[in-house]
Amino acid sequence: MTEAEARGSANRLHEQLEAIIDLLRRQKLVEQVAHAQHGVHQDIVDNLLHRQHLAELQLQLDGLHPADIAYILEALPLEDRLSVWQLVRSDRDGEILLEVSDSVRETLIADMDQGEILAAVEPLEADELADLVEDLPTEVLPELMASLDAQQREQLQSALSWKEDQVGALMDFEMVTIREDVSLETVLRYLRRFDELPAQTDKLFVVNNVNLLTGVLPLHWLLVNSPERMVSEVMAPDVNTFHPGDDAYDVAQAFERYDLVTAPVVDDHGHLIGRITVDAMVDVIREEGESEALSRGGLREEEDIFASVWKSFRNRWAWLAINLVTAFVASRVIGLFEGSIQHLVALATLMPIVAGIGGNSGNQTITMIVRAMALDQVSTESVRRLWRKEITVSLVNGLIWGSVIGVVAWMLYDNFALGVVMTAAMTLNLLLAAFCGVGIPMLMARAGRDPALGSSVLITAMTDSGGFFIFLGLATLFLM
């Protein structure tokens, strides 16, 4: 998809959202009029208008992809969200529940009774059910398991036995396998027996009589080779295979690196047990990016933007408390130099510049380091080189931009020594930002924590307190 097509798709989706919001607004207006006025004819008119708006909403929703409906539900306040959810066709509920965020899914399931939940999830495949099971009410699970056949139960239990960030929890059991000792003509006849192939099928998996994976046969190879040739002659024996215990994000990077659409999943003995598809890997990459962004801001989990005040408070309070402590420390640092600030008021106006530039530089460094760690580009041997490189970059930036702001301070306050102090403070605070920008994620990783967790809060605390101390300390030594 080109950039223009992507922009056009986003615009259409936004227009659909606006149209649904407008219909909901008009529906509420009709209800308000109905409450304010009375009379047989007025009630009939209001009822007709109400039904017309519902019919329009239903028509709009029926024409949308489940992912688009999920986007719209996430963008609506809770009351409107539930109103729209009630209008979604019941045979589409399961697909939409898979698409919405975890926090929004919770509100939708809470609005459904047990029968509606079972009807929504029973048509789903085992790997899709595994994504929803944790969010379903416990009283639904026994009946759900009883509704599955033996193979589905086994597949579901297999998917649930792995952590959510492992390939085993994401693998798909719908795939086409063939034998290596048959001709391509036999394979073609076999494929014609299917009503349709599983989604994302770009290759067939070749196994022997004990289900050991021996290779893959890309579909385009099947089409361009002579039907008389044997599968063993045409197949690719050397393929990218993964194990159910592999980290999903590492596998997603392999998909990107080798331009994969699907790949086989095998057990420790090489038996084919499932496949992993590119759409699952795209979801992994998106969720990893969202999780990293939330962690940097100190949010504990993904949050429904229309969640209750209490839920939002619980999600945000921890790092705000830490931020309060660090802000208090910064204020005490300023308090230590209260006499210097009273003696030279210009210090009060200039010190936020030192802290602000340091925080920005530190966030740049920490973003690069966290990304490199996520891509496994940082080894023990490279840490010192990274420190030297980032400190050198900060030194150059500090000298250049510190000199610029130093000259400005000199000209504004006609004080050459103040300009020199400003340059020195800026340079030293950028060096501190570089050191902490590399060190904070390294220490978090060594402690077994997410390197991105609260990183922006911590780096800002260090550069604020450190910047104030450096600037005011130098000013006290050389200007008083």
Contacts 24+ apart (CB under 8 A), 273-278: 273/158, 273/171, 273/244, 274/127, 274/171, 274/172, 274/173, 274/175, 274/244, 275/171, 275/172, 275/173, 275/175, 275/205, 276/167, 276/170, 276/171, 276/172, 276/242, 276/251, 277/172, 277/199, 277/200, 278/200
Q: What is the pLDDT of residue 403?
A: 93
* 223 and 359 part of one domain: no
Token pair, residue 243, equals 């194990």
Q: Number of structural domains, the chain? A: 3
* 337 and 474 part of one domain: yes
Question: 203-207 and 177-179 as β-strands: parallel, antiparallel, unpaired?
Answer: parallel
Alpha carbon distance 311, 344 (integer Å)? 46
CATH code at position 288: 3.10.580.10
Beta bridge partners of 264: 275
Token pair, residue 126, equals 């085992």
Contacts 24+ apart (CB under 8 A), 152-158: 152/126, 155/126, 155/127, 156/126, 156/129, 156/130, 158/126, 158/244, 158/273
Question: 272-277 and 262-266 as β-strands: parallel, antiparallel, unpaired?
Answer: antiparallel
Question: Is residue 172 in a domain?
Answer: no
Question: Is residue 466 in a domain?
Answer: yes
Residue that is written with structure tokens 């308000």 in the block: 32
Of the three residues 164, 187, 202, the one that is the final residue of a domain is 164
Instruction: Please count the residues of the chain.
Output: 480
Mean pLDDT over all residues of the chain?
85
* 220 and 346 part of one domain: no
Q: What is the pLDDT of residue 182?
A: 94
Q: What is the pLDDT of residue 62?
A: 87
Token pair, residue 158, equals 């297999």
Say what the pTM is: 0.72
Alpha carbon distance 156, 162 (integer Å)? 11
* 42 and 154 part of one domain: yes
Alpha carbon distance 319, 452 (integer Å)? 13
* 156 and 187 part of one domain: no
Question: Is residue 275 in a domain?
Answer: yes
CATH code at position 347: 1.10.357.20
Of the three residues 250, 269, 297, the one that is the final residue of a domain is 297
Token pair, residue 289, equals 């990016």
Question: Is residue 302 in a domain?
Answer: no
* 408 and 454 part of one domain: yes
Any residues with CB less than 8 A from the CB of 297 and at least 6 apart, and which?
Answer: 319, 456, 457
Question: Is residue 427 in a domain?
Answer: yes
CATH code at position 16: 1.25.60.10
Question: Is residue 454 in a domain?
Answer: yes
* 276 and 227 part of one domain: yes
* 470 and 329 part of one domain: yes
* 211 and 340 part of one domain: no
Question: Is residue 34 in a domain?
Answer: yes
What range does the domain containing 447 cover?
Answer: 309-479
Alpha carbon distance 454, 420 (integer Å)? 34
Q: What is the pLDDT of residue 298?
A: 63
Alpha carbon distance 162, 246 (integer Å)? 10
325-355 CB burial, b ≥16 within 10 A, e <16: ebeeebeebbeebeebbeebebbeebbebbb
Cβ 464 vs Cβ 326: under 8 Å: yes
Alpha carbon distance 141, 121 (integer Å)? 11
Question: Is residue 473 in a domain?
Answer: yes
Of the three residues 297, 328, 351, the one that is the final residue of a domain is 297
SS3 300: coil
Helices (H), 297-345: 309-336, 338-343
* 225 and 313 part of one domain: no
Q: What is the pLDDT of residue 296?
A: 65
* 411 and 330 part of one domain: yes
* 153 and 29 part of one domain: yes
Number of CB atoms found within 10 A of residue 196's CB: 6
SS3 251: helix
Nearest to 437 by CA among 329, 380, 360, 333: 360
Q: What is the pLDDT of residue 396?
A: 93
For every one of its 480 residues, what pLDDT tens digit does the chain have, with 9 covering 90 and above? Answer: 555 555 666 778 788 888 888 878 877 776 666 555 555 445 554 565 567 767 788 888 888 899 999 999 988 888 889 989 988 988 899 999 999 988 899 999 999 999 999 999 988 888 888 888 888 988 888 888 888 888 888 888 888 899 988 999 999 999 999 999 999 999 999 999 999 999 999 999 999 989 999 999 999 999 999 999 999 999 998 889 999 999 999 999 999 999 999 999 999 999 999 999 999 999 898 888 777 777 666 666 666 777 777 777 777 777 677 777 877 888 888 888 888 877 788 888 888 888 888 888 888 888 888 878 877 777 766 778 888 889 999 999 999 999 999 999 899 888 899 999 999 999 999 999 999 988 888 888 888 877 777 777 888 888 999 988 998 999 888 886
